[in-house]
């Protein structure tokens, strides 16, 4: 059981801590003060260390060489590696600096190719991977690039590779013949299939005939986990006779990015509505004797059951 914990020697925010052995290391960060116009200025140089064995904090005598906040931090070979960040300068920091708990000293590593802050680095098979973030002070200039740092020779990352999922549905929604001003409903099933990533559904809309309407199953936007499905209720209410066509359009983050489901139906007058099939029922036990489709013919006088 952990605790109780005591306050750290130095207040800070916008930083990441790492645990090496039985000690926690807090490096980088700032004391944000927007009210005084010093949001990015009050960076914290000290490295604070918490010892889980003794329950005590201490502060290294060797502060971080490049003061900055918004950093990302990983533990590599027993060293605290502080990457990127932001400060009072306009552009994000590209510095990468490593603190050795053994020697209590800092080592300068290779700079990032692109300065960035507000992101998260990970360690995988002795390599550091960092992706996205912001390239300038504050939240503007969002990045989409990825970088990797190898201690020596390149290594192959371990784990399961991400595979973009696909949003699938029936090939079409066919309503057939519906009497004018009557409503027929159908459920269009959307399924996250063929990958290992969740899908973000950002929009559902209709194109074509206004005789089709829909109801979203969940408030947009919503996330559809791998292997899960949701039903979108589509109504067809023809306002006049004749064929009607439209499309249910789903915008999403999966493969392709947009799914379009064709919709079709035909409005008929009440006297024109066709019977596509009917069943003969045994009145004694309510069992179906025979189902007759269009153009089927039976001789009722000779029909026996």
CB atoms within 10 A of CB 94: 18
Are 201 and 221 in contact by the 8 Å Cβ rule? The answer is: yes
Asked if pLDDT for residue 283 goes beyond 70, the answer is: no
Of the given ranges (13-27, 90-104, 246-260, 282-296), which has the lowest mean pLDDT? Answer: 282-296
For 42-87, the pLDDT digits (tens) are: 999 999 999 999 999 999 999 999 999 999 999 999 999 999 999 9
Asked if pLDDT for residue 120 goes beyond 70, the answer is: yes
Q: Which residues contact 163 (CB under 8 A, 6 or more apart)?
A: 194, 195, 196, 197
Q: Which pLDDT band, with edges at 50, 70 and 90, does 272 fall under?
A: low
Q: Which pLDDT band, with edges at 50, 70 and 90, does 30 fall under?
A: very high
pTM of the model: 0.67
Q: Which of 262, 237, 230, 236 has its CA nearest to residue 249? A: 262
Q: Which pLDDT band, with edges at 50, 70 and 90, does 273 fall under?
A: low
For 149-186, the pLDDT digits (tens) are: 999 999 999 999 899 999 999 989 999 999 999 999 99
Q: Where are the domains of the chain?
A: 16-150, 166-268
Q: What is the 3-state secondary structure (H, E, C) of 175-229?
A: EEEEECCCCEEEEEEEEEECCCCCEEEEEEEEEECCCEEEECCCCCCEEECCCCE
Report pLDDT for 198: 97
Q: In the numeric block, which tokens belong to residue 184?
A: 């027929």
- Only one residue has tokens 């790492």, namely 18
Dihedral sign of CA atoms 10, 15, 21, 22 in order: positive
Q: Report percent pLDDT > 70 for the chain.
A: 87
Cis peptide before 38 (omega within 30 of 0): no
Report pLDDT for 174: 94
Asked if pLDDT for residue 300 goes beyond 60, the answer is: no
Q: In the numeric block, which tokens belong to residue 34?
A: 């927007």
Kindly report the CATH number that applies to the domain delimited by 16-150.
2.120.10.80
Report pLDDT for 141: 85
Report pLDDT for 9: 97
Per-residue pLDDT, averaged over 276-293, amounts to 60
Q: Which pLDDT band, with edges at 50, 70 and 90, does 140 fall under?
A: confident
CATH architecture group of domain 166-268? Sandwich (2.60)
Per-residue pLDDT, averaged over 128-157, amounts to 94
**What value does the mean pLDDT of the chain take?**
91
| Helices of type H across the chain | none
Report pLDDT for 299: 59
> What is the b/e burial string over 163-199, where b = at least 16 CB atoms within 10 angstroms of the residue's CB?
eebbbbbeeebebebbbbeeeeebebebbbbebebeb
């Amino acid at each position: 059981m952990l605790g109780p914990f005591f306050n750290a020697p130095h207040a800070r925010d916008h930083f990441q801590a790492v645990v090496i052995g039985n000690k926690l290391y807090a490096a980088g960060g700032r004391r944000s003060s927007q009210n005084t116009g010093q949001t990015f200025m009050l960076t914290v140089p000290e490295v604070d260390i918490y010892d889980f064995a003794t329950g005590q904090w201490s502060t290294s005598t060797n502060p971080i060489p490049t003061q900055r906040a918004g950093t990302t931090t990983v533990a590599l070979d027993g060293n605290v590696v502080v990457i990127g960040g932001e400060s009072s300068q306009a552009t994000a920091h590209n510095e990468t600096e490593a603190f050795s708990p053994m020697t209590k000293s800092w080592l300068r590593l290779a700079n990032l190719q692109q300065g960035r802050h507000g992101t998260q680095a990970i360690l995988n098979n002795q390599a550091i991977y960092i992706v996205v973030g912001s390239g300038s002070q504050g939240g503007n200039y969002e990045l989409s690039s990825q970088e990797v740092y190898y201690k020596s020779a390149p290594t192959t990352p371990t784990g399961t590779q991400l595979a973009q999922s696909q949003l699938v549905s029936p090939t079409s929604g066919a309503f057939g013949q519906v009497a004018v001003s009557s409503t027929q409903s159908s459920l269009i099933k959307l399924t996250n299939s063929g990958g290992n990533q969740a899908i973000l559904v950002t929009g559902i809309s209709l194109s074509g005939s206004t005789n089709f309407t829909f109801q979203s199953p969940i408030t947009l936007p919503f996330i559809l986990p791998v292997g899960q499905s949701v039903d979108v209720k589509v109504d067809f209410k023809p306002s006049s006779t004749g064929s009607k066509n439209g499309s249910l359009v789903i915008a999403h983050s999966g493969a392709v990015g947009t799914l379009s489901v064709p919709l079709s139906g035909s409005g008929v007058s009440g006297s024109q509505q066709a019977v596509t099939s009917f069943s003969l029922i045994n009145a004694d036990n309510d069992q179906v004797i025979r189902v007759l489709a269009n153009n089927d013919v039976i001789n009722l006088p000779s029909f026996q059951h």
